[in-house]
Structure 1
């Protein structure tokens, strides 16, 4: 609860960056992770 009585929520995750790319260690649904993680492949520049 906030000072004015409103509801609130806080979410945190633990991440690790490996040679294979980033991983969310505290993930509850690994199939959803990829759309939230930036990888070399997902942000490659087209020259």
Structure 2
């Protein structure tokens, strides 16, 4: 049972890490997109 809980926590940490990376990439992507499409800068 302990192993199961530990594996769930570990899984959650990995998912959180990927979500954070995804958010960073998303922010960078949006910034680049705004620079390419001036109409969004209004």
TM range (shorter): under 0.3
| Greater share of strand | 1
Greater relative contact order (CA < 8 Å, ≥ 6 in sequence): 1
